[in-house]
Amino acid sequence: MTVPVTSLQDLVERDRDHECEGFGSAKVCVRVVGVAELPTRFGAFRIVGFWNNRDAKEHIAIIKGDVLGADAVPARLHSECLTGDVLGSLRCDCRDQLIMALKKISAEPYGVVLYLRQEGRGIGLLNKIRAYSLQDQGLDTVEANLALGFRDDERDYAIAAHMLQSLTIRSVQLMTNNPKKVGALESYGIDVRGRLPHLIPPNPHNRFYLETKANRSGHFIDFGGKPRLTEQHDLVMVDGMPDALVEKE
């Protein structure tokens, strides 16, 4: 069933009856079901909607330029964060990370953001709120997740790997500070040609917090006057923010 693919739109027809053995332990399989233009305040993109055979989560890719068959495509895997992305929560820096990814990719010839609907590191929105509640009572983010019976990070990138393959992307440059993400994608057969640091510069208010986080997290980091490295769900601090809102570390 080889349907010639010359545009993103062709992927819909190609995938109409797509089935494969699936990726990862859940054997997840995805199909491209819709492609549309998506002009945004950060640039002109196209949006690609994916159906999957495991749950009703509607994952999407936001694409700049021609990624079909392309090599070393700048790629960002973003996990949905309703509180951060939409509401502008300061408990994390997801929104900043997402916007920075869109802006960066918009300035490149091509690139992709996979917007993965795995809210709260995969535990779901309601459980994330429960975890926040525990953090309000003094637990740190890892302890809170464990108290709710979850691993610290329930995210799985099998679906992302299949999405990249569905888009016929040959290899990626992963925009991340998290070495685990590189390894996870590679374990699903994705050719990761390199890592593009995804940095939000520290400011006098968050520097100590970020240094602490970096020392504990194992993320790539260098504070010798260089930008910090964090991953989604780090706290972001702004001027005038009361100490009471600061995540306990």
Instruction: Report, as residue numbers or ranges, the catalytic residues.
Output: 153, 155
Counting Cα atoms < 13 Å in the Cβ hemisphere of 82 gives 11
Options 67, 73, 94, 235; binder of Zn ion; rule CB under 5 A: 94
Dihedral of the alpha carbons of 95, 168, 32, 77, in degrees to the nearest 10: -20
Q: Is 20 in the site for Zn ion (CB under 5 A)?
A: yes
Q: Which of positions 28-67 make contact with Zn ion (CB under 5 A)?
A: 29
Which has the closest alpha carbon to 220: 173, 175, 154?
175
Backbone angles phi, psi at 168, to 5 degrees: 60, 25
Return the number of the residue (166 or 173) whose C-beta is nearest Zn ion: 166
CA 43 centroid distance within chain: 19
Options 48, 61, 92, 185; binder of Zn ion; rule CB under 5 A: 92
Q: Compute the least distance from the CB of residue 53 to Zn ion, in Å.
A: 8
Alpha helices by DSSP H, listed for the chain, are: 10-14, 94-106, 125-136, 141-147, 158-166, 179-187, 207-217
Measured over all CA atoms, what is the biggest interatomic distance in the chain, rounded to whole angstroms? 59
Options 35, 70, 81, 192; binder of Zn ion; rule CB under 5 A: 81
Q: Is 84 in the site for Zn ion (CB under 5 A)?
A: yes
Q: Which one of 86-94, 128-136, 141-149, 199-207 is the stretch in contact with Zn ion (CB under 5 A)? A: 86-94
Return the number of the residue (34 or 108) whose C-beta is nearest Zn ion: 34
Return the number of the residue (29 or 65) whose C-beta is nearest Zn ion: 29
Return the number of the residue (91 or 104) whose C-beta is nearest Zn ion: 91
- Chain residues binding Zn ion by CB under 5 A are 20, 29, 81, 84, 92, 94
